[in-house]
Structures are given as structure tokens and as C-alpha cells.
Amino acid sequence: MLAELQLVRRADAKASCRAAGAGGVESAGTLVERARAGDSDAFQTIFNRHARPVFGFIYNCIGNRDLAEELLQETFVRAYRRLDTVRDEALLATWLFGIARNVVREAIKEKYRCKRNVALESGLDVADGAARPDAAVISADLAAEMRRVLGALKEDQRVVFVLKLLYDMSYEQIGRITGSSIGKLKTDLHRARLEMRRRLRP
């Protein structure tokens, strides 16, 4: 376990120095096969490619940066230990999100949830800063309110909202991550939207 965690942390430390595109981009399948064979550089590349979106997902579900960083490490430790369970290398990102989803669920069940509001990506900033002088203040206030409302959603509703609207995933992808049926996901998203509209209504 310690060796695996150190491997993930080394990957994290080197991420900024291993920019994507410094040469040919290897396929996910090739990287997985190399990582399975014990190639730490291959696993580091997997980490570098996927850590940021996985972290964003965890952060949006948990709402605390320090805890999200811990859960990101746990996600990739588990991924390293379970590389043999990857059935379709083309779905590597979905597989990683599925692990992250389970890690988040366990953290919530164990009452590690922080009291801070869930933070959204900048994609939910809705005001135009050039519209009028106080637009920045309005944008900040609205973004804060949207963070509060998202944090108040039920867990399943929040997860599908984040994956569908922030990550633009299909229902099929979200279903593979969460284990929920497409019908349930659509219902959860519909309810999430209704609840957000209700809470944001003047």
C-alpha cells in the first residue's frame, strides 16, 4: 500500500513537468498494458492525463479541496491495484470515474463530508462581466448561491448534475460510473434541475 501511494504521489509531483504532447500520444490501451507490466512511467502518464478531471468531479461532490486531494490519491491507489480489472481500455476514463464515485460514496457514508459548500467549475458563472460595472459582484453572488444550492441536492442528483452538465457525459457513461439505470439518471437530473430552479427563484 505504501509503495502504491508513493507511486501516485511521485506522479502527482511530476505532473507539471510531464506535459501532454511532448511526443507521440500513446493510446490508453498501450498505457494500461505497460502499467500492468509494472511500468511506473505508464501509470504516471495515466495519472497526468486523468487526475485533473477526476479531481474536479471529486471536488464538486465533496466541496473541500484538502479532502478532495486525499480522495484523489485514494482513487489512483485503487486504480493501480485494480489495473487487471480494466475490461475495455477505451473506457479507461469512465473506469476511473467509477472508482472515484465509490471513493466519494464511502467518504460521505463515513461522515467525512466537510461543511463547506460544494464548489463549481467556472462553467456555471452566468453573468457577463462586460454588461455593467457591478456585474462582477452579481456574478460572484449568483455563483455562491448556485454552489449553495448544488450542495443541498441529494447525492445521486448532485452526481448526475455534475457529470451531465459540467462534464457533458452521456447517460450511458454516467450509468457505467454510478451503476444506475438511464431512467433513474434522467429522473435524478430532472429533479435536480427543478430543485435548483425552486431554490434560486426570487
Q: Which residue has the higher pLDDT, 147 or 102?
A: 102
Boundary of a domain, candidates 116, 147, 176: 116
pLDDT in tens, 81-117: 999 988 777 789 999 999 999 998 888 776 433 433 4
Are 71 and 158 part of one and the same domain? no
Q: Please give the residue range of the domain that contains residue 11.
A: 1-116
What's CA 63's distance to the chain center, in Å? 11
Distance, in Å, from the CA atom of 138 to the CA atom of 17, rounded to the nearest integer, reads 38
Same domain, 45 and 62: yes
In this prediction, residue 149 has a pLDDT band, given cuts at 50, 70 and 90, of confident
CATH number of the domain where residue 137 is located: 1.10.10.10
Q: What is the mean pLDDT of residues 45-57?
A: 93
2/88 same-domain check:
yes
* 141, 107: one domain: no
Q: Are residues 188 and 135 in the same domain?
A: yes
pTM: predicted TM-score of the whole model, two decimal places: 0.65
What is the rounded CA–CA span in Å between residue 173 and residue 102?
A: 15
- What CATH number does residue 52 fall under? 1.10.1740.10
8-21 residue pLDDT tens = 555 554 443 443 34
Statement to judge: residues 79 and 4 lie in one domain: yes
* Statement to judge: residues 104 and 6 lie in one domain: yes
Q: What pLDDT score does 167 carry?
A: 86
Q: What is each CA distance from 59 to 52, 117, 126, 156, in whole angstroms?
A: 10, 10, 20, 15
Torsion over CA: 125, 70, 99, 50 (sign)? positive
9/51 same-domain check: yes
Q: Which residue in 144, 47, 139, 31 sits closest to 96, CA to CA?
A: 47
What pLDDT score does 201 carry? 77
Using alpha carbons only, how large is the chain's radius of gyration in Å? 18
Do 27 and 104 fall into the same domain? yes
107 in the same domain as 128: no
Q: Based on the fold, state whether residues 76 and 99 are members of the same structural domain.
A: yes
Q: What domain count does the chain have? A: 2
Give tens-digit pLDDT for 54-67: 999 998 888 788 98
Mark whether 188 and 101 lie in a shared domain.
no
